[in-house]
Structure formats: structure tokens, C-alpha cells
Amino acid sequence: MKINTYHFGEVEFTEDKIIIFNSGLLGFENLKKFLFIKQDDSYFFWLNSIEDPDICFPLFSIRMLDDKFPQVENYEAFGITTLNSDPLNITVNLKAPVYINQNDKLGYQKIIDTDKYPVHYKLFSE
Amino acid sequence: MLVLTRKINEEIKIGPDISIKILSISENQIKIGIEAPQSVQILRGEVFEKVKESTLEASRASTQKADDLLKYKIHKIE
């Protein structure tokens, strides 16, 4: 299968690479199938929709920020990242992490309703 | 929208597994107790809306380029 993506051009993949989000993501409940892409030279991972290839979310691995963050067995927690041309304004959503199981190819988003984890967490400092 | 009138300690059932109980009422606050299966996510509406808005924003900003990220420190959670 092939899709045309903004960030990666034409991407070819096989069915077993698809991560299924049965409930979609908040605001994108209709999108269930994503490719999970890691670039070698980037801090970010990418979740690219297969059904709507223009939709793409940068992700940041939350364990690089906090080793006490709520963990789920066999899943890794990522924060959806809002990019900005000024790195000091790049934020990571820690309130609604995306959990991905790369072995079973499953993912879901969960809201952690405490004040400890903000929606817009500033990722970088000088 | 379905509108029901309830008194303190009265319940509303939604399907077989979810019940909502009015616990107390003060001038401008109502305390509500909710029982539901673990798989049902219960959220205050404004939290849901804020997260949704942030996801839409992240999608729109995903094409932004930021150079020289290596110059910056990752801001860890204390």
C-alpha cells in the first residue's frame, strides 16, 4: 500500500505496519489507522493518518521527560506535540497522552485529569 | 436534550451500568456521584474541549519547522 504524505512524500507500507486506534484521537475520532514513523535525526516520532494522509501528528516520548508518568504495560506513552518555528514555544500535550503498543499495533488516547500534567507543556528551555 | 428533575440522593440510570446520583446542592454548585465501568471515560466537559482544541492545533502546526533544536535543553518534569 502507498500513501502520499506531506512530511515523507510517498510512503509504501504493508498491512502489518498499521497501528489501529479503535476510538481515534480526540477531534479526529473518524481516523483509526495510522503509520508510526521515526526519523533518525529528529526528537519526534510521527503518527500519519492512512485514511487522511495530510493529517499528521508529531509525537514526543514522555519517558524522556518524566519517569513517573502513568505507564501501561506493553505500551509507550507519547505526547502530541504542537510545533512552532520558535523552539521555546513547542509544546507537548501531557494531559492526553497517546499510548502505543508497537507489538500488537494498537493505540489509544487517554485523558489524565490532574493538574500535574498540562495540555501545553513547554518542551524546550534555553 | 432530555431534561429530568431530581432531588438530593435521587439517581439517574444510563443503560444498565451507569448511574448518576445528586449528592448535594449549594447556591451555585452541585455535587454529582457517578458509577460507571472502568472502560467509560468520565471527564469534565471543559477538559475534553481543551484537549480536542490542542489536538486540532497540533495537526495544523505539524508542518512548522524549527531549526537548531539541539541548541535547546529538554525541559524535564521535576
- Alpha-carbon distance values, B28 to B3, B25, B31, B32, B42 (Å): 19, 8, 10, 13, 22
Highest mean pLDDT among A39-53, A110-124, B11-25: B11-25
Confirm if B43 and A111 have CB atoms less than 8 A apart: yes
Q: Is the pLDDT of residue B66 over 80?
A: no
Q: What is the distance in angstroms between the Cα of B7 and the nearest Cα belonging to chain A? A: 28
Strands B30-35 and A76-82: unpaired
Determine the Cα–Cα distance for residues A88 and A84; give it in Å rounded to an integer: 8
Residues in contact with A27: Cβ distance below 8 Å, sequence separation at least 6, in sequence order: B52, B53, B55, B56, B59
Determine the Cα–Cα distance for residues A70 and B77; give it in Å rounded to an integer: 13
Q: Which of residues 48-67 of B touch A (CB under 8 A)?
A: 48, 50-59, 61-66
Helix, strand, coil percentages in chain A from 3-state DSSP, rounded to 5: 5, 45, 45
Confirm if A95 and A82 have CB atoms less than 8 A apart: no
Q: Do B72 and A25 touch (CB under 8 A)?
A: no
Q: Do A84 and B59 touch (CB under 8 A)?
A: no
Residues spanned by the domain of A85: 2-122
Q: What is the distance, to the nearest Å, from the Cα of residue A104 to the centroid of all Cα atoms in its chain?
A: 16
Q: What is the distance in angstroms between the Cα of A114 and the nearest Cα belonging to chain B? A: 10
Q: What percent of chain A has pLDDT over 90?
A: 83
Alpha helices, DSSP H only, in B1-78? Answer: 45-60
Q: Is the pLDDT of residue B32 over 80?
A: yes
In chain A, the number of structural domains is 1
CB contact B7 to A (< 8 Å):
no
**B33-65 pLDDT tens trace:** 999 998 888 889 999 999 999 999 999 998 888
ipTM topping 0.90: no
Residues of A whose CB is below 8 A from B64: 83-85
Which of A42, A83, A116 is the best residue to mutate to test the B interface, defined by the most B CB atoms within 10 Å of its own CB?
A83
Residue B11: how many CB atoms within 10 A of its CB?
11
Report pTM: 0.87
Q: What is the distance, to the nearest Å, from the Cα of residue A9 to the centroid of all Cα atoms in its chain?
A: 19
**pLDDT tier for residue A113 given thresholds of 50, 70 and 90:** confident
Residue B9: how many CB atoms within 10 A of its CB?
10
pLDDT at residue A8 in the model: 86
pLDDT at residue B69 in the model: 85
pLDDT at residue B64 in the model: 87
Q: What is the distance, to the nearest Å, from the Cα of residue B10 to the centroid of all Cα atoms in its chain?
A: 24
**A9-25 pLDDT tens trace:** 899 999 989 999 999 99
Residue A111: how many CB atoms within 10 A of its CB?
20
- Find the CATH number of the domain harbouring A107: 2.30.290.10
Determine the Cα–Cα distance for residues A57 and A80; give it in Å rounded to an integer: 6
Residues in contact with B16: Cβ distance below 8 Å, sequence separation at least 6, in sequence order: none
Residue appearing with cell numbers 518524566: A66
Domain residue spans in chain B?
Answer: 7-36
